[in-house]
Amino acid sequence: MPVKDTRHQEVVKKVKQIMKDVSTDLMQQKTMPVLDVPKVGYDNTVWSDKKKMLTIGDKMVKISPDSTKKIPTFAQYLVMANAVRRLLDEEMESTIRGMYYATLSTVGDEKNKQKFWRGQEDSDDAIKALELLTGVPREEFSVTSKPKGMISGPITLRVGGDVIDCNLGSRATSQLIPTNIRDVEIVDVKADFVMLVEKDTVLNNIRKSGFIQKYNAILMTGSGEPDRATRMMARTLNEEWKKPVVVFADADPWGLGIALRYKIGSESLSYDSDRLVTPNAKVLGMMFSDIYEYNIPEVARLAASEEDINRALDMKKKPWFQDKQWQKELDLFLKRKEKCELDAFFKHGFKYLAEVYLPDKLRQAGVI
Amino acid sequence: MKQKATAEVAASQKSHIPASQSQAVHRGKVKYDKKAESEFFVDNSALAGFTGERILYMAVRELIENSLDSCENNHILPRISLSLKNLDSANDMWVITCEDNGIGIPSDKVPVAVCSFLTSGKYVEKQQRGLFGVGLKMIAAFSTKDTDHPLKVWSKSSEDDSEYYFELRTDISTNRPIVLAKKQLGEGRVSGQSGFRIEAILRARLSPITKTRIYDYISQTSVVNPYAILEFETDEGKVVFDRRTSVMPEPAKEVLPHPSDMDLKTLKKAIMNFMNQKTTLQGVLSESFQKMSGEKAKEIIANAGVENKQADKYDEHELIKIVNVCKQTKFHTPNTDHLSPIGEEILTAGMTSEYTIISSRSENQPDGNSSPQISVKVLKPSLTDYSSRTCVINNRPTIVECGIAYGGDISSFKLHRFANKIPLLYDEGSDVAREVVSEVEINKMGISKKEVKEQFANPDAKSDRAVELLPLHIFFHICSTKIPYKTAGKESIASEGDLKRYMKACLSDLYRKVSAQIRKELRMKEAQSRLNLYKFYIPLIVNAISESISVDSKKLEQAFTELAEKHVSGEITGHPAEEKEDEITGNRLEKEVSVDQAINAARKKGSKSKENLQTTLDAVIPKKKVK
């Protein structure tokens, strides 16, 4: 507990420093205060060949009440900073949605009334800005999101005071990956490798087949776009526990994108890649070529949309996609214009995915 | 005739003769009737605008216009009281009363002036509101036709010693007045030195639309007649439009016809006027037409190839040659003495405090019966300007006047149209003024359509045209002895000759003149919205800081507010370069400064008299001349 307090105190101290700088500017310097926030987004995301991940560039955004357009943003950042300070003073924790509600208000008079936040996205952005301003991830100041990642397999976690054996449910259920990662500690990992899949439906199918017991694996899913806790869990298991991490997603540009979140990171969280990305993860499937290798019947294939095509064309140019194998896969996709979900293997039987396809792929990759 | 025709049809039906046979019987028996003027106008009341819903509107118009003409032509500052009240709602009976302080009508002329159609003092070549002497007669005839009430008239003419009271009806079949009573009054109704008062009962419906039109008509009349006191009373209350200036337009003078407008009839009439005087044609021409010197007349007669002899010795063949030559000869442009424009001073007085009748339901009625009440709303714009052009349209000199009022109390766009000082309320869509407004580029005002749409977004706007989003009132006045009306209803003006070009030139002038001010206002408006933004957000920011660290929140808020104000004002004065670019607007700015200085100077002197201030102002502002 005392450890936690010092971490919190550090955040509170940083918030107070921001406030102090602003008030000094206003009262002593008589100048408009400026918050320098690193820019987040596609135009400030840089591929690091050394780290093999997406990192944030050095572009900064100046948020100052100097400009009329930025006044609301400036106010939002300070209001959010103060709200986080209150949260920590009260030793409470909150979800990002909770922070949104805690700071809801209206601005203006009767004639010109408007909402302080246009929506939760605004408030999420303010939290992100605070992370960037303090250099502390929000989990460290007890602001989390709703858990959605799932884990199942021979791994034991300690959350707060409770010990959770994720293998307990065996074939029955999975454990949600806690988002208050500050409070989560990995006690023991008995598995040989970690397998990430795109969707929870696929995870459930694999778990039910007894895959975990047979191959001594940990199954994880981000249920679509993975949250930070799920990505962080994958990284910790790989970096600290030295477990190989493999990823399976749908054979379409979208699924490929999700698989890459784990492996190289994302533009919107590029500033936190060091904490979230698992560069050693191997994206094993589902390859576009698998559609034809494994004779997925035509009825289970989907036609690529124009958006899919554009995404694939875009991906082909990316520095992290220059591997010959991947270029071939994308070319195949662009030629056939067909995509496929992992669920399509159910057409070959409910156990086909877990008992034929996955072991095949894992064996080829030398994981089992 | 119509009535007789129906009677005949009815008769033929009674006799059970088949229609075809009946026609055969009557063939060759066409009956030629002469119809009295009164009967003709009653049967064709639409010619004078008296139709159905419009009867009360037209009655209001005719009475007010007669009163204004009666005052103005004789340099009397008008004071007009009009009342329109319901007498018997079951039978749609209305009492309309109008009183003015004009010159009245001599007692011996009252009956014909009120009742006999086509008897008028207005058949002369000069600009007047009414021209045909039909309006008042129409009211008399309709009152006679639809009610059993006499028309009551009080007249105190400057030519009579005392006031006379009349009770009149019109003999519609003969166009003659029926005088039911005539009394010389000791103590009269008319308050001033002279005046005229009329009370008529009319049967008519007053639809909400017509009611609005009547209110609009009176409101707009007051814009171009700010020197008149207008009192208006209805069942919904009474409103008074104050006199805002004592300057009156120069009354129109009667002028000689212009030779390019000559025809056989005018020429013969001119010759008739010199009958028995043994005048030569040359003399008649030079005396009877403007821009016709003796020299010129001689030249015309020579060009026509006829000899110059005594005027009454010509036959029509010779006279038409004269007319033809006149049509082909170039004369100086006609003079405009017979026109009476509103003028910059008067229109500006009308625009700077625009009176509008508004009808609202009062909420404080205890019985819950909230009948609407009328009241006057005064709109004071933040700036006005004026421009005019004189031109010749259809051989008639025509004056185009345009005024513009922007901002202040004005919140939306409106186009006001006037012809010979009469507001035009109907058919705006087909009026040339509407075309002019949509064709003159708004960027002459120094603002782009995009800026307007951003700054003046108004969900209530009826149109998404940029100009119609502006808080702008545009006034067009066309005066001429022959307004190119589009239709017989006289509610919209056609784009005849170069009229549109001159109107566009006027409006463009004004757009340029107001551009500096509008740009300044736009910047002020933006600055205000910026300041508001600071005002709204500063407390939130200060609160966030003062909750987190110990700081004097009052001082912090004060420091922040001062900084914001300085910042915003710095942004406004940050672009002074734009204003100096335009010569016109540059002048205007200088003018504004000197007006301010003049006012301050006047105040410093401790002079409380408005006149003093006015003289100081006059000295500073050069009077613009109407070309």
pLDDT digits (tens, 9 = 90+) for B397-425: 889 999 999 888 888 889 999 998 889 98
Which residue range(s) make up the domain with A120?
2-144
CA B219, CA B223: separation in Å to the nearest integer? 7
pLDDT-above-70 percentage for chain A: 97
Burial label for B291, CB within 10 Å (0-12, 13-18, 19+), is: middle
Alpha-carbon radius of gyration of chain B: 31
Assigned domain for A290 exists: yes
Q: Which residue has the higher pLDDT, A287 or B525?
A: A287
User: Considering chain A, what is the average pLDDT of its residues?
Assistant: 90
pLDDT at B583 over 80: no
CB-based contact B540 A75, cutoff 8 Å: yes
| Residue B505 three-state SS | helix
Say if B537 is an interface residue toward chain A (CB within 8 Å): yes
Together in a domain, A241 and A130? no
DSSP one-letter string for B313-338: G--HHHHHHHHHHHHHS--PPPP-TT
CB-based contact A71 B534, cutoff 8 Å: yes
CB-based contact B559 A26, cutoff 8 Å: yes
Least confident window among A259-268, B125-134, B138-147, B604-613 = B604-613
pLDDT at A340: 94
User: Considering chain B, what is the average pLDDT of its residues?
Assistant: 79
Chain B hits for A23, CB-CB cut-off 8 Å, are 545, 549, 551, 556
Assigned domain for A29 exists: yes
pLDDT at B267: 86
Q: Which residue has the higher pLDDT, A137 or B613?
A: A137
> pLDDT tier at B126 (50, 70, 90 boundaries)?
low
Say if A72 is an interface residue toward chain B (CB within 8 Å): yes
| Residue B48 three-state SS | helix
Say if B556 is an interface residue toward chain A (CB within 8 Å): yes
Q: Which residue has the higher pLDDT, B461 or B76?
A: B76
pLDDT at B177 over 80: yes
Which two tokens mark A50?
A: 């050394």
> pLDDT tier at B608 (50, 70, 90 boundaries)?
very low
Q: Indicate the residue of B544, B551, B556 with minimum beta-carbon distance to A79.
A: B544
Q: Cα dist. A251→B60, B484, B600 in Å?
A: 82, 77, 81
Together in a domain, A134 and A30? yes
Assign residue A40 the CATH number of its domain: 1.10.10.10
CA B527, CA B565: separation in Å to the nearest integer? 9
Say if A64 is an interface residue toward chain B (CB within 8 Å): no
Least confident window among B15-24, B433-442, B567-576 = B15-24
Chain A hits for B556, CB-CB cut-off 8 Å, are 23, 26-27
Q: Which residue has the higher pLDDT, B128 or B171?
A: B171
| Residue A203 three-state SS | helix
Assigned domain for A227 exists: yes
Q: Cα dist. B381→A37, B429, B453 in Å?
A: 47, 25, 21
Assigned domain for A17 exists: yes
pLDDT at A49 over 70: yes
**The CATH number, out of the four listed (1.10.287, 1.10.8, 2.60.40, 1.10.150), of the domain defined by the range B259-328:** 1.10.8
Number of domains in chain A: 2
| Average pLDDT of span A98-108 | 91
Q: Indicate the residue of B537, B544, B549 with minimum beta-carbon distance to A107.
A: B537
Q: Which residue has the higher pLDDT, A101 or B366?
A: A101
CB-based contact A68 B530, cutoff 8 Å: yes
Q: How many angstroms from the chain centroid is the CA of residue B109?
A: 28
Chain A hits for B563, CB-CB cut-off 8 Å, are 26, 30-32
pLDDT at A168: 58
User: Last residue of a domain, which of A78, A111, A144?
Assistant: A144
Together in a domain, A140 and A251? no
> pLDDT tier at B623 (50, 70, 90 boundaries)?
very low
| Average pLDDT of span A233-259 | 95
pLDDT at B22: 47
Least confident window among A15-29, A119-133, A351-365, B159-173 = B159-173
pLDDT at B600 over 90: no
> pLDDT tier at B8 (50, 70, 90 boundaries)?
very low
| Average pLDDT of span A331-360 | 94
Best of A21, A71, A107 to mutate (most B CBs within 10 Å, chain B): A71
Q: Give tens-digit pLDDT for B471-487.
A: 889 999 998 888 888 87
pLDDT at B100: 92
Q: Within 13 A of B266's CA, how many CA atoms are on the CB side?
A: 16
The alpha carbon of residue B459 is apart from the nearest alpha carbon of chain A, in Å, by: 15
pLDDT at A170: 56
Assigned domain for A152 exists: no
pLDDT at B462: 64
pLDDT at A133: 92
In the CATH scheme, what architecture does the domain B40-241 have?
2-Layer Sandwich (3.30)
CA B479, CA B476: separation in Å to the nearest integer? 10
Chain B hits for A27, CB-CB cut-off 8 Å, are 551, 555-556, 559
Together in a domain, A323 and A207? yes
* ipTM given for this complex: 0.84
Q: Indicate the residue of B537, B551, B563 with minimum beta-carbon distance to A32.
A: B563
pLDDT at A218 over 50: yes
A113, closest residue in chain B (CA to CA): B536
CA B254, CA B125: separation in Å to the nearest integer? 6
CB-based contact B537 A71, cutoff 8 Å: yes
Q: Which residue has the higher pLDDT, B13 or B111?
A: B111
Looking at chain A from residue 73 to 132, which residues have their Cβ under 8 Å from any Cβ of chain B?
74-75, 78-79, 81-82, 85-86, 105, 107-109, 112, 116
Chain B hits for A107, CB-CB cut-off 8 Å, are 536-537, 540
pLDDT at B521 over 70: yes
User: Could you tell me how many CB contacts below 8 A there are between chain A and chain B?
Assistant: 75
The sign of the torsion formed by the CA atoms of B449, B454, B458, B464 equals positive
**Sequence-distant (≥ 6) Cβ neighbours of residue A227 within 8 angstroms:** A145, A147, A148, A149, A177, A179
pLDDT at B589 over 50: no
CB-based contact A81 B555, cutoff 8 Å: no
Best of A25, A68, A89, A99 to mutate (most B CBs within 10 Å, chain B): A68
pLDDT at A5: 63
Chain A hits for B551, CB-CB cut-off 8 Å, are 19, 23, 27
Least confident window among A356-365, B175-184, B292-301, B569-578 = B569-578
pLDDT at B18 over 50: no
DSSP one-letter string for A82-122: HHHHHHHHTT--EEHHHHHHHT--EES-STT-EESSSSHHH
Assign residue A352 the CATH number of its domain: 3.40.1360.10
CB-based contact A78 B559, cutoff 8 Å: no
CB-based contact B547 A30, cutoff 8 Å: no
CA B175, CA B36: separation in Å to the nearest integer? 6
Alpha-carbon radius of gyration of chain A: 23
pLDDT at A241: 94
pLDDT at B133 over 90: no
| Average pLDDT of span B69-88 | 90
| Residue B82 three-state SS | strand
Say if B126 is an interface residue toward chain A (CB within 8 Å): no
In the CATH scheme, what architecture does the domain B380-518 have?
2-Layer Sandwich (3.30)
| Average pLDDT of span A107-129 | 88
pLDDT at B39: 83
DSSP one-letter string for B134-176: -HHHHHHHHHHHH-SPPEEEEEE-TTSSSEEEEEEEEETTTTE
Chain A hits for B543, CB-CB cut-off 8 Å, are 79, 82
Together in a domain, A86 and A218? no
The angle formed by the CA atoms of residues A293, A296 and A298, to the nearest 5 degrees, is 125
Chain B hits for A88, CB-CB cut-off 8 Å, are none
Best of B411, B531, B532, B537 to mutate (most A CBs within 10 Å, chain A): B537
> pLDDT tier at B354 (50, 70, 90 boundaries)?
confident
CA-closest candidate to residue B621, choices B389, B382, B348:
B348
| Average pLDDT of span B588-602 | 41
The alpha carbon of residue B519 is apart from the nearest alpha carbon of chain A, in Å, by: 19
Q: Indicate the residue of B549, B559, B564 with minimum beta-carbon distance to A16.
A: B549
pLDDT at A158: 92
| Average pLDDT of span B201-225 | 90
pLDDT at B58 over 60: yes
CB-based contact A22 B530, cutoff 8 Å: no
B543, closest residue in chain A (CA to CA): A79
Q: Residue ranges per domain, chain B?
A: 40-241, 259-328, 380-518, 582-627
Together in a domain, A139 and A216? no
> pLDDT tier at B2 (50, 70, 90 boundaries)?
very low
Q: Indicate the residue of A66, A71, A81 with minimum beta-carbon distance to B544.
A: A81
The alpha carbon of residue A131 is apart from the nearest alpha carbon of chain B, in Å, by: 17
pLDDT at B586: 35
Tell me which DSSP letter residue B376 carries: E
Least confident window among A85-94, B458-467, B548-557 = B458-467
Best of B541, B560, B568 to mutate (most A CBs within 10 Å, chain A): B541
pLDDT at A238: 95
| Average pLDDT of span A145-170 | 86
Residue B569 Rama label (left phi>0; alpha psi -120 to 50; beta): alpha
The alpha carbon of residue B457 is apart from the nearest alpha carbon of chain A, in Å, by: 14
Catalytic residue among A42, A77, A101, A357: A101
pLDDT at B545 over 80: yes
Q: Which residue has the higher pLDDT, B29 or B73?
A: B73
Does residue A101 have an active-site annotation? yes
Chain B hits for A67, CB-CB cut-off 8 Å, are none
Say if B554 is an interface residue toward chain A (CB within 8 Å): no
Together in a domain, A120 and A196? no
φ and ψ of A348, to 5 deg = -85, 5
Chain A hits for B549, CB-CB cut-off 8 Å, are 16, 19-20, 23
CA B345, CA A152: separation in Å to the nearest integer? 90
Say if B565 is an interface residue toward chain A (CB within 8 Å): no
| Average pLDDT of span A185-197 | 94
Together in a domain, A92 and A204? no
Chain A hits for B555, CB-CB cut-off 8 Å, are 27
